[in-house]
Amino acid sequence: MNVYDSQRIASILEKLGFSATSSQPQADIVIFNTCHIREKAAEKVFSDLGRAELIKQERAEQGLDTIIGVCGCVVQAEDEQIAKRAPFVDFATGPLTYHRLPEILARIGHQKGQPIIDTEFPVESKFDYLPDHQASGACSYLAIQEGCNNFCTYCVVPYTRGVETSRPVDEIIKEAKRLVADGSCELNLLGQNVNSYHGEDNNGKERNLAYLLRQLNEIDGLERIRYTTSYPADVDDDLIACHKDMKKLMPYLHLPIQSGSDSILKAMNRRHTSGDYLKVIDKLRSANPDLGFSSDFIVGFPGETDADFQATLDVVNSVKYIQAFSFKYSRRAGTPAALMPNQVEEKVKKERLDILQDLLFSYQLKFNKESVGKVMPVLFDMKGRHKGQLIGRTPYMQNLHAELGKECLNKIINVKITDATTNSLSGIREE
């Protein structure tokens, strides 16, 4: 979601006459788009800001002004900390108010020396104000839903991204058509709980994600559709049916369980047990036996015992994820879990994370190795590190590199997989 927000921030600035530079000392404006989900991510911004201040000083010696801004969830949660720890910041705006950047930048001109901080939860939708943005290549992100009402006890999202809202169907279709006309053939629909989507159609009727997917399926030139991240309790039968018959829907689904232990899931305030989750996986597999799954996991949530952790490993052994993201529980101020008494020791968290990741990687490697010899359609959207090499993604989101000419960039090419490691595949063009 932050990548998508950054692209939209870039298009606001382009409309104002700025262009992107990859060299920070050349930048007249430097914006950090920040993540608050875990402590490490949130802390990183303060060290990055320190470096940016030094560059700002060096530029000032050459008579150049630099505006330093912070966007994203850290601003929403830690606006006072930013003002205190980085007083040289010119502006800070949360994830729901960055459409106000033109006004903020104009005010900086008049209000030198005083940071402008905007952390309001606005009544207007930023999407009504953002200028159109260009496709980011063959694969584009498209935000369809934002915010969350689930209040998992460890998570900051409901506090930083606000209540759950869905964009209207027509607005999304229009943006999708524009991105496709602009060169994208794959769209990844985004939302903190993307499958809780309930946007209105033109008649004011609420529609679900399955309805939206079927509308998008009709767009000529759009070849691949993905959506992320889904909440297990909100996977409905309509959505499962899409995985049975919608050819454009990729056979890869990110469906986070967090923990395999029912008592931990309850303490996390998740609306599913591990049994409910496995039932959803079964239904999806019955609809499409070729589906591959990924998940997020948190180890060391307060009160997690060895038996709870074992239940997580049991789920992994049952689902056999083809990819996964796993984290040590991070205590976030303001969330209920931060105040729970039975916090798990750092050492135990680390041990459990190592064990879990070894298991997850073993399944990932197994899946990748089983791909060897198969022919898969691969969308190549990046140049490789070596000359004559392109990097792309299989339907299962595996990274693949192949020796191919530039003419294959941004195209879907059939590739025979020749080799596999845990993190990538290689292959040759299948004529």
Residue type, 42: A
Question: Site mask, ligand SAH, residues 155-174, x = CB under 6 A?
Answer: x-x-----------------
User: Which of 14, 236, 296, 430: binder of ligand SAH (CB under 6 A)?
Assistant: 296
Which residue, among 410, 186, 397, has the nearest Cα to 294 in the 3D structure?
Answer: 397
Q: Which amino acid is located at 215 in the chain?
A: Q
Q: Under the criterion CB under 6 A, does residue 329 sit at the interface with ligand SAH?
A: yes
- Determine, following the binding rule CB under 6 A, whether residue 256 of this chain makes contact with ligand SAH: yes
Q: Other C-beta atoms within 10 Å of 9: how many?
A: 22
Task: Show the tokens assigned to 269.
Answer: 């305030």
Measuring CA to CA, which residue among 93, 92, 158, 159 is closest to residue 126?
93
**Alpha carbon distance 312, 328 (integer Å):** 13
194 touching ligand SF4, by CB under 6 A: no
192 contributes a contact to ligand SAH by CB under 6 A: yes
Decide whether 340 or 372 has the Cβ nearer to ligand SF4. 340
- Looking up tokens 């006004």, which residue turns up? 103
Please report whether residue 272 would count as binding ligand SAH according to CB under 6 A. Answer: no
The site for ligand SAH, by CB under 6 A, has a size of 17
- Tell me the window of 122-130, 154-162, 342-350, 377-385 that interacts with ligand SAH (CB under 6 A): 154-162
Per-residue binding letters, 262-291, with ligand SF4 (x by CB under 6 A): ------------------------------
Residue from 35, 68, 86, 148 touching ligand SF4 (CB under 6 A): that is: 148
Does 150 help bind ligand SF4 (rule: CB under 6 A)? yes
Dist CA 196 CA 231 (whole Å): 7
Q: If contact means CB under 5 to 8 A according to the sort of partner, which of ligand SAH, ligand SF4, none does residue 298 touch?
A: ligand SAH
Q: How far is CA 229 from the centre of its chain?
A: 7
Q: Nearer to ligand SAH by C-beta: 231 or 367? A: 231
Buried b (16+ CB within 10 A) or exposed e, 119-140: beeeeeebbeebeebebbbbbb
**Hey, how many other C-beta atoms are within 10 angstroms of the C-beta on 220?**
8
Binding test (CB under 6 A) with ligand SF4, winner from 136, 193, 295, 323? 193
The pairing of beta strand 91-93 with beta strand 67-72:
parallel
Q: Which helix (DSSP H) or strand (DSSP E) does residue 276 occupy?
A: helix 274-287
State yes or no: residue 151 binds ligand SF4 (CB under 6 A).
Answer: yes
Which one of 34, 188, 192, 228 is in contact with ligand SF4 (CB under 6 A)? Answer: 192
Q: Which tokens sit at 318? A: 């049952």
Q: How far apart are CA 327 and CA 123, in angstroms?
A: 34
Residues 66, 55 contacting (CB under 8 angstroms) = yes
Q: How many helices and strands, by DSSP H and E, does the chain display?
A: 12, 17
By the rule CB under 6 A, 325 interacts with ligand SF4: no
* 216, 222 Cβ separation under 8 angstroms: yes
Answer with the entry of ligand SAH, ligand SF4, none that 278 interacts with (C-beta below 5 to 8 A by kind): none
Our finding on whether 179 is near ligand SF4 (CB under 6 A) is no
Instruction: Return the number of the residue (230 or 364) whose C-beta is nearest ligand SAH.
Output: 230
Identify the helix (H) or strand (E) that includes residue 318. Answer: helix 306-319
Answer for which of 32, 227, 231, 252 binds ligand SF4 (CB under 6 A) is 231
Task: Report the candidate in 32, 33, 42 with the shortest Cα–Cα distance to residue 333.
Answer: 42
Q: Which two tokens stand for residue 279?
A: 């039932």
Residue 38 in contact with ligand SAH, rule: CB under 6 A: yes
CB of residue 158 vs ligand SF4: minimum separation in angstroms? 5
Kindly tell me which of 8 and 332 has the beta carbon lying closer to ligand SF4: 332
Contact set with ligand SAH (CB under 6 A): 37-38, 154-155, 157, 192-193, 229, 231, 256, 258, 296, 298, 327, 329-330, 332
By CB under 6 A, name the binding residues for ligand SF4: 148, 150-152, 155, 157-158, 192-193, 231
